[in-house]
Structure 1
Amino acid sequence: MLKLLTVSELTGHIKNLLDNDPLLLNLWVKGEISNCKQAASGHLYFTLKDEFCSIKAVMFRSRGRRLLFQPEDGMAVRVRGYVSVYPRDGTYQLYVEEMEPEGTGALYLAFEQLKQKLEKEGLFAREHKKKLPLLPRRIGIVTSPTGAVLRDMVKIIRRRWPGLQIIFVPVPVQGESAPREVARALHWLNRLRACDVIIVGRGGGSLEELWAFNTELVARSIFASGIPVISAVGHETDFTIADWVADVRAPTPSAAAEMVVPVREEMARYLGLLEGRLLRAMREKLQTYRSRLDACRQSRVFRYPVDVLCGFRGQMVDDLFRRLNRAMEQYRLHQQSRLALLSGQLQALSPLATLARGYSICTRADTGEVVRRAGEVAPGERVQVKLYHGRLSCQVEESITE
């Protein structure tokens, strides 16, 4: 007789079978990622598929944080893990512990992903690059205390400019702690404004050995630096993310040491050349001013100042004074003639001129109104008669209208 199982019992039995299958306990699977999502918990959920089948997969946060690249939909990968059943849903899935990109190395893929990301953000843009100081007073060096890199840079700097102050910050240049230590050194030099330029570098090596300088932490620390940074990582053919972010890339640490400070003797010769050019320019300028001064001394105003001021200038003043008097007299005569004309016109229109010819003005004695017609007054009314000289007070005896 068949045994009746609950769903939980059936799921548990299948899970037990899968968990004890040696093949499924530790295996590599390759396929294409799809439906890739990262939960708020940090766990990564995705589907791994080929052209015929698919399987759900999960990579817990503790494993995913070790990835050097970002898994994306459509990416071909190889994963190592084990197969088990998720009891709640009764589905089997692949629990991933490692992941590698198929066909390309994980480091190289991570390098390209970070490079594209930072380039889109503008961290490589030329307008953000700072100029190196012509003659720094203090040079900061961030590199390993062991190896020939530090000795070579110090030797070159001392040879090119003896006595120049060097501030050395020792850091590991490879390993898990290297990015954090390099970033901390850059932050410390900037916070204290300890130097005028910083060299960050190390000797050559493989991509894995140079990886500290391909991390986002170091790249953003270089970009945030207020002090110009020279990246001097590896050999001339080695390129890192730090090279693109830095203000200047040096092909080697030795080249960075030569780049950061001029040769003292060459600078002295250059300053001597500038001094000679300055002296020549000063002599030429003095000669020009001397010639101008001699010309001024020979001019009439300096040779005969009294004649210029009291003779020619005085004559000009007298001439202007005469012209002014003549203009004023002409203006007076013109205005006087105009006044006489206007006075004649006013006189012709004046009532007094009419009275002088024998006419008079008659007004009512009580109201002062002008009487224009005889019918306007009645016999017995009193009127005033205005003459050219004086006036008459009269009483009307008869009003005659014609």
Structure 2
Amino acid sequence: MLSPIVHSVSQVAVYLKDKLESDGLLSRLTVQGEIANLRTVASGHSYFTLREDGSSIRCVMFRGRAGQEYLEDGQEILAGGNFTFYPPSGEANMQVAAVLPVGAGALALELARLRQQLAAEGLFDPSRKRPVPVFPRVIGVVTSPSGAVWQDIQNVVLRRYPLAELRLSPTAVQGDIASEQIAAAVRSLNDEGVADVIIVARGGGSLEDLWCFNSEEVARAIFASGIPIVSGVGHETDTTIADDVADRRAPTPSAAAELATPDRNQLMVDIYGARQQMTSLMAGHVDRLRSSVLSQQQRLQRRVPDVASLRRRVDEYAERATSSIRHRHALTGRDVASLASKLGALNPADTLRRGYAVVRLSEDGSVLTSPDQATDGVRLDISLANGALSATAGHPPRSPSSDDAPIHTQVSPVASDGVASPTPRKRGSRRSPGPPPAMKPLL
């Protein structure tokens, strides 16, 4: 009988795929069986069948999955993975994530499967791992408060770096509830936001004892932590998924405490070395500055002028200037004396003292240099060396024999104060010749 609702092949294929992949049992399954029809293609993927007593399951194992080296026809194995439906071929098959030989145990197979899954998601990627702070102020510790691990961590931190504060986030480290408590302790320290680094630690034990540190819940809590985490779970030979996800992995809890803290003794050595290096550098720098200052000082000293020589040169210049001034003064004195002598020779007073006189018209004071400049009866003023005379011009009749007869004047003596002297002129005395015509009026 046909259903009234018609579905396409694709719809049915998608439905089957969703059903298979959402089933809790089929999404995380471990199957034991014998390998048959093994075929590995060029890409590295392996296709085979697991069979037992007439039943078989088609399987695919992609390249790089854990335990692929155990695949061999006829080999009985434990295969861990999940079921899925492949629509192109219309087959349901098992995607194998990990393979172990029979006898290895279910826990080992589950560990391999989970490690392969988390690695594919990038939880182990080295590029996401963060550096541990060099000088942490607060160190969070996720461990049991009653175990020796907590005491060991306290002793190591106190010995190496007592400045750090330890903040314990207590948890069980073994048992069914340990995984949940460890994850909660890590989240609690992140919520507080005080710690600079977190140590997740536990002592050694069997695979069953350490299984809580291999749980997916703990791995995702460590991956989601915003604070760098150092894992120190078990002994050096024990490697858990928590170690793979953590930012740093230590072989023991004590080694984890050492990774999370600097060594104060080494710090003292480093500080002393840095101080010695700084002292050496400063000493070298000071020596270079001192050498530079001395060099500059020598250069300045070489450039300082010779004051003594300059003083002597100034004295020489002063003596030369004084001598030059004196010589110039003597020459000037001689020039002045010569000019004075020349002026004295040209002094009209001296000329008058030698018997010469200066005749002027009384009317306008003009000096007579020719008889034609005066008419008869014109008053004249005659200047002598020791006084003056007043006279009246008169031209005598010209003789036929001479055209240059002198002017006859009636002279009235005049005292030096300008009053006419009563002394008469002697009859028959000859008048002294006047000044030469070339004499200029100098008075």
User: Normalized against structure 1, the TM-score is what?
Assistant: 0.51
- Secondary structure (helix, strand or coil) at the match of 2:133 reads coil
Report matched runs for 1:202-351 at 5 Å.
202-299=202-299, 303=303
The aligned residue for residue 184 of structure 1 is 184
Deviation at 1:166, TM superposition (A): 0.5
The one-character-per-residue Cα deviations of 1:69-111 (angstroms, maximum 9, x if unpaired) are xxxxx99569xxxxxxxxxxxxxxxxxxxxx994431111111
Deviation at 1:39, TM superposition (A): 5.2
The aligned residue for residue 357 of structure 1 is none
Residues 39 and 137 of structure 1: CA distance in aligned 2, closer, same or farther (over 3 Å):
closer
Relative contact order (alpha carbons < 8 A, sep ≥ 6): 1 or 2 greater? 1
Aligned equivalents of 2:192, 2:164: Cα separation in 1: 19
Give the structure with the larger helix fraction: 1
Deviation at 1:210, TM superposition (A): 0.3
Deviation at 1:181, TM superposition (A): 1.6
The aligned residue for residue 351 of structure 1 is none
Amino acid at match of 1:236: E
Residues 301 and 207 of structure 1: CA distance in aligned 2, closer, same or farther (over 3 Å):
same
CA contact (8 A) 1:123 1:245 kept: yes
The aligned residue for residue 38 of structure 1 is 20
- Secondary structure (helix, strand or coil) at the match of 1:169 reads strand
The aligned residue for residue 313 of structure 2 is none
- Secondary structure (helix, strand or coil) at the match of 1:230 reads strand
Deviation at 1:286, TM superposition (A): 2.3
User: Is 1:194 aligned to 2:194, yes or no?
Assistant: yes
- Secondary structure (helix, strand or coil) at the match of 1:173 reads coil
The aligned residue for residue 145 of structure 2 is 145
Alignment length (residue pairs): 233
CA contact (8 A) 1:160 1:264 kept: yes
User: Is 1:53 aligned to 2:54, yes or no?
Assistant: yes
The one-character-per-residue Cα deviations of 1:103-159 (angstroms, maximum 9, x if unpaired) are 431111111112122222332232222222222111111001122111111122112
Amino acid at match of 1:210: L
Question: Highest Rg: 1 or 2?
Answer: 2
Aligned equivalents of 1:191, 1:160: Cα separation in 2: 27
The aligned residue for residue 127 of structure 2 is 127
The one-character-per-residue Cα deviations of 1:329-354 (angstroms, maximum 9, x if unpaired) are xxxxxxxxxxxxxxxxxxxxxxxxxx
CA contact (8 A) 1:77 1:101 kept: yes
Amino acid at match of 1:44: L
The one-character-per-residue Cα deviations of 1:275-310 (angstroms, maximum 9, x if unpaired) are 1211211121222233234334444799469xxxxx
- Secondary structure (helix, strand or coil) at the match of 1:238 reads coil
CA contact (8 A) 1:131 1:228 kept: yes
Amino acid at match of 2:118: L
CA contact (8 A) 2:230 2:259 kept: no
Residues 129 and 276 of structure 1: CA distance in aligned 2, closer, same or farther (over 3 Å):
same
Residues 164 and 300 of structure 1: CA distance in aligned 2, closer, same or farther (over 3 Å):
closer
Deviation at 1:226, TM superposition (A): 2.4
Aligned equivalents of 1:197, 1:136: Cα separation in 2: 7
CA contact (8 A) 2:138 2:195 kept: yes
The aligned residue for residue 158 of structure 1 is 158
Which runs of no fewer than 5 residues in structure 1 stay unpaired? 1-34, 57-73, 79-99, 306-402
Amino acid at match of 1:216: E
CA contact (8 A) 2:152 2:254 kept: yes
Amino acid at match of 2:51: D
Amino acid at match of 2:162: P
Residues 178 and 101 of structure 1: CA distance in aligned 2, closer, same or farther (over 3 Å):
farther
The aligned residue for residue 368 of structure 1 is none
Aligned equivalents of 1:221, 1:171: Cα separation in 2: 14
CA contact (8 A) 1:144 1:150 kept: yes
The aligned residue for residue 173 of structure 1 is 173
| CA RMSD of superposed structures (Å) | 3.4
- Secondary structure (helix, strand or coil) at the match of 2:237 reads coil
Which runs of no fewer than 5 residues in structure 2 stay unpaired? 1-16, 34-49, 58-74, 80-99, 306-443
The one-character-per-residue Cα deviations of 1:311-345 (angstroms, maximum 9, x if unpaired) are xxxxxxxxxxxxxxxxxxxxxxxxxxxxxxxxxxx
- Secondary structure (helix, strand or coil) at the match of 2:183 reads helix
